[in-house]
Amino acid sequence: MIHAIEARGLVKIFDGFRAVDGIDLNIPEGSIFGILGPNGAGKTTMLRTLLGIIDPDEGTRSLLGSQKPISQSRNVGYLPEERGLYQSMRAVDTIAFMGALRGMPLKAARDKGRMMLDEAGLGYAADRQIKQLSKGMAQTVQLIGTIVHDPKLIVLDEPFSGLDALNQAKLERMIRAQAEKGVTVIFSTHVIAHAERLCERIAIIAKGKISFDGLVSTARDRLRPQVHLETESRDGPWRGALPDDCRVEGNWWHFTLPESGVEPLLTALVEGKAGVKSLSIERPGLHDAFVAIAGEAVAAEMDEEMAEALL
């Protein structure tokens, strides 16, 4: 498998603080890859290190096969977390400038920028200065500038933040359209819903370390399904089939599906005359998996720190 990005033992330290702490990562070409993590996990630092904006203190990285990421800048589009535009520049000139930075001829970038603004419904604003645009419009301009040069790899750092629901939907459509063309799209977010809808593979990062790297389905499978059961009776021999930490709300029983599976549970409920009124088994969402995985990482780090303190 060819990887768009590879990292081995990546470390980045700021004034003694390990913002990125030994990250190994492989991101396959042509995929939509999500990087999830709580605030301060190190997502942005990791992306900046991978893109060559900053150099790692330890470890290696390669971007589209090159160990010098800047040399691949023509094939990469990057939307940083902190949006930055020249306020006095016209929208179409901004896109042209961003395209020219990545190697496009200025005129071609300007013409294409105008076309893409038209497609995005912002053709009327092409000659307006950035300071005259709304926040959403300015972000759209910047997004167009990120992809105007037809990159092979698109990296978006928190692209959904600050966007309304309509623009979020537009952005999701754009990401899918790029992926269909074979472009590798990597985006970081702490809003799990986007990753769940878009990504095939994700990495969960917490405290500078990768806690999980794999398929979304694999992440979900880290947690057992949840059972929601409604019965007519509130007690009986069938109670023994339910786990001890079952949560009770009236005649509703909420618990994690036992390892033995659903069949023994159903048998116990029927034979025990529980009077099952409703039974649903809910596969955990990515949000729950993320909270569990990231939470485990944070807890593990806290245990380590406490153990070191005791020593």
Partner 1 sequence: MKEIIRAAIVIGRRDLTAIIFSKAFILFLLGPLFPVIVGVAAGALGGQIKQDSDKPTVGILMSEQDTMRLLAVRSQLAEQVGQGWYPELRSIGKQDEKSGTQPGKSPREYLTDKKNSLVAVVSGSLENPKITATQSEADRNDDEIAMLIGYAKSGQSTQLPKVDMEIVTKSASGAKKGQQVTGQLAQVIMYFLTVLLTGMVLSNLVEEKSNKIIEILAASIPIEAVFVGKLFAMLIMSLIGITIWTGTGISGFALLASSLPLDAIPAPAVGWPVFLILGVVYFTMTYLMLGALFLGIGAMAATVREVQTLSMPVTMVQLIIFFFSAYTVTQLDQPIEQFAAIFPFSSPFAMIARAAQMPTLWHHAVAVIGQAFFTVLLLRIGVHLFKRNVMKSGAGGAKNTAKKRKLFGLIPLPR
197, burial (CB in 10 Å: exposed 0-12, middle 13-18, buried 19+): middle
Q: Note whether 208 binds partner 1 by CB under 8 A.
A: no
Dihedral angle over CA of 105, 106, 108, 114, nearest 10 = 150
Site for partner 1 in 103-162 (CB under 8 A): 103, 106
Q: Note whether 55 binds partner 1 by CB under 8 A.
A: yes
Tokens of 133: 């645009």
* Rounded Cα–Cα distance for residues 257 and 22 (Å): 35
Going by C-alpha positions, the residue among 282, 255, 205 that lies closest to residue 34 is: 205
Q: Note whether 57 binds partner 1 by CB under 8 A.
A: yes
Q: Pick from 28, 54, 230, 239 the residue near partner 1 by CB under 8 A.
A: 54
* Rounded Cα–Cα distance for residues 154 and 146 (Å): 8
SS3 155: strand
| Least gap, CB of 85 to partner 1 (angstroms) | 7
Q: Pick from 24, 28, 38, 89 the residue near partner 1 by CB under 8 A.
A: 89
Site for partner 1 in 32-51 (CB under 8 A): 48, 51
Residue (104 or 205) nearer to partner 1, CB: 104
* Rounded Cα–Cα distance for residues 144 and 148 (Å): 6
| Least gap, CB of 209 to partner 1 (angstroms) | 16
Residue (75 or 167) nearer to partner 1, CB: 75
Residue (76 or 116) nearer to partner 1, CB: 76
The distance in angstroms from the start CA to the end CA of the chain is 45
Neighbours of 295 (CB within 10 A): 13
How many residues form the binding site for partner 1 (CB under 8 A)?
37
Neighbours of 38 (CB within 10 A): 17
Residue (96 or 175) nearer to partner 1, CB: 96
Tokens of 103: 């190697």
Binding characters for partner 1, 4-33, by CB under 8 A (x = yes): -------xxxxxx-----------------
Residues that bind partner 1 (CB under 8 A): 11-16, 48, 51-55, 57-60, 70-71, 73, 76, 78, 80, 82-89, 97-98, 100-103, 106
